[in-house]
Amino acid sequence: MSQLQNDLFLRALLRQPVERTPSWMMRQAGRYLPEYRAVRAKAGSFMQLCTNPELACEVTMQPLERYGFDAAILFSDILTIPDAMGLGLSFSEGEGPQFARPVRTGGDIANLAVPDPEVELRYVIDAVRLIKTNLQGRVPLIGFSGSPWTLATYMVEGKSSKSFQKVKSLMFEQPQLMHQMLDTLAQAVAAYLNAQIAAGADAVMVFDTWGGMLSHADYLEFSLRYARQVKELLQTQRDGRQIPTILFTKGGGLWLEAMADTGYDALGLDWQTDIGQARARVGDRVALQGNMDPITLYAKPDVIRAKVGEVLAGFGHGSGHVFNLGHGILPDIDPEHVKVMVDAVRELSPQYHAAGA
């Protein structure tokens, strides 16, 4: 399938036979690792870490060296696109992301331009190239972006939100403006992911962190519609290989069937969705990624191991499963507990795959 030494992750996403279930972890390069914290301190700020390709490459590689995950994921942030649109992104301790110039009016939306990934987002694309070189074919590299809807929530609110009052008000009162903004964002996300693919990303993932905040009808109209548009614009063939695509909506368990219709190869599951029921609902249309509760990693090793076993048994026999958490790892998790999880997946998953498949 490729010249990768370990392509289990790609084969599982395409529902091809594997010898064991591959694993990686959302936020696997992050604050729970002391070696990450050391590089972050050297960088001076989170944004300086994100925008320095050499340092972004260094922290991307750290969890692979420590745990031997079956995939690397580009170290970056989901808000790079709005930052490249000139909204003035900053991060303050304890406050999270903030935009100096949020998008609130028709004029603001009309002024949004699709960034050129090789210009305004060159630091990300350079990081992809550098990581790909450093990986030397060990494992696949995942590129990613926030979804159009999730990017819009931050851009309109200007920061993180619990109620999403500003963005929902815009959606309800001026839906045509919301659609105009989301269309621009879908084009931007697709261009960004296509640039990551061209630079060497072996798979791409769309993070719809806030789609689950919407009603059924609004999710389909304002979130999933634009995730589908992104998928339709993606160039998923490179060097004769298919680049698998993953769509993850946190809180999206209600909409798995509709998500499976969008054309993505795999769906990420949060921990509130039963993986066995999810598999029954989507059949063999898509692979599934997930979905252990991240809080499990605070538990004792024997509990972690048992919970890994439950997720694997829940999915059952056959390919099409990538083991992951149901959301990102939390900053104060013991790194040794991650090793317990990874080792348990390696040890317990072969029984669910035909020997030597």
The response to whether 293 counts as a known ligand-binding position is: no
Catalytic residue from among 77, 218, 265, 270: 77
Task: Look up 27 and say whether it is catalytic.
Answer: yes
Residue 41: both structure tokens together: 């301190």
**CA-CA distance, 237 to 256, in Å (whole number)?**
25
Catalytic residue from among 31, 66, 225, 305: 31
The response to whether 240 counts as a known ligand-binding position is: no
The secondary structure of 312-354 as a DSSP string is: HHHH-SSS-EEEEESSPPPTT--HHHHHHHHHHHHHHSGGGS-
Q: Say yes or no to pLDDT of 1 above 90.
A: no
Task: Look up 281 and say whether it is catalytic.
Answer: no
Task: Look up 104 and say whether it is catalytic.
Answer: no
Residue 138 pLDDT: 98
Task: Look up 154 and say whether it is catalytic.
Answer: yes
Catalytic residue from among 27, 67, 202, 279: 27
Catalytic residue from among 154, 219, 226, 264: 154
Residue 93 pLDDT: 74
Q: Say yes or no to pLDDT of 114 above 60.
A: yes
The response to whether 258 counts as a known ligand-binding position is: no
Q: Which CATH architecture has domain 8-352?
A: Alpha-Beta Barrel (3.20)
The response to whether 209 counts as a known ligand-binding position is: yes
Q: What is the pLDDT of residues 163-207, one digit of tens each?
A: 999 999 999 999 999 999 999 999 999 999 999 999 999 999 999
Q: What is the pTM of this model?
A: 0.97
The response to whether 30 counts as a known ligand-binding position is: yes
- Burial class of residue 283, CB neighbours in 10 A (0-12, 13-18, 19+): exposed
Q: For tokens 């914290």, what's the residue?
A: 37
Q: What is the pLDDT of residues 322-351, one digit of tens each?
A: 999 999 999 999 999 999 999 999 999 999
Catalytic residue from among 11, 15, 20, 40: 40
**CA-CA distance, 178 to 152, in Å (whole number)?**
9
The response to whether 116 counts as a known ligand-binding position is: no
Q: What is the pLDDT of residues 259-282, one digit of tens each?
A: 999 999 999 999 999 999 999 999
The response to whether 317 counts as a known ligand-binding position is: no
Residue 74 pLDDT: 98
Query: What is the band of 128 on the pLDDT scale with cuts at 50, 70, 90?
Result: very high
Residues recorded for the chain: 357
Task: Look up 31 and say whether it is catalytic.
Answer: yes
Q: Say yes or no to pLDDT of 294 above 70.
A: yes
Instruction: Annotate 65-89 with b (16+ C-beta within 10 A) or e (fewer).
Output: eebebbbbbbbbbbbbbbbbbebeb
Q: What is the pLDDT of residues 204-262, one digit of tens each?
A: 999 999 999 999 999 999 999 999 999 999 999 999 999 999 999 999 999 999 999 99
Residue 62 pLDDT: 98
Residue 313 pLDDT: 98
